[in-house]
Amino acid sequence: MDYYMPSKQIEFDHIIEGFRAKTLPAKEWTHEAHLIAGLWHVANFDYDDALVKMRENIKTYNEASGGQNTDSSGYHESITVFWVWLLNEFWQRNSTHNRNFEQVCNAFLKSKYCDRNAAFTFYTREKLLSREARLTFVAPDIQAFDFDIL
């Protein structure tokens, strides 16, 4: 599977700055762009602050780009918590080897952890795609989050 692979820091900056400023074109707000923005947040804030900022930024970005955050579309709490947790775990394990953000981000985007179905290792589809999981964090129903089993 080919992932979006920015070759220059400017491309990462375009996504991160556009997301934070709510100017990134909606067509560029891909799965990979979500992950780039999320990894930037865990690289620059502690886990709790990164999660709070991602929650806020995704919701306001969705609205600014013409979307809505409802009980059936837009922002999804459990998916956000999952990805911020996974990105944070990856960052903590990979940023200590004198690697810069771009290197760690490219490594993540090339890895198995980037798979958009990764959350289904921990959740059944029924649970994760439920209204409840969209609106509030629900604990995984297959097994607890564990980076080492992915």
CA gap 123, 131 in Å, rounded = 14
Looking at residue 9, its pLDDT comes to 62
CA gap 17, 142 in Å, rounded = 36
Looking at residue 1, its pLDDT comes to 34
CA gap 86, 113 in Å, rounded = 8
Structure tokens belonging to residue 25: 């074109």
pLDDT, averaged per 10 consecutive residues of the chain (150 residues), comes to 48 96 96 97 98 98 96 97 98 89 95 98 98 98 97
Q: With contact defined as beta carbons under 8 Å apart, do 44 and 51 qualify?
A: no
Looking at residue 96, its pLDDT comes to 85
Structure tokens belonging to residue 149: 């089993």
Q: With contact defined as beta carbons under 8 Å apart, do 39 and 91 qualify?
A: yes
What single letter denotes the amino acid at residue 74? G
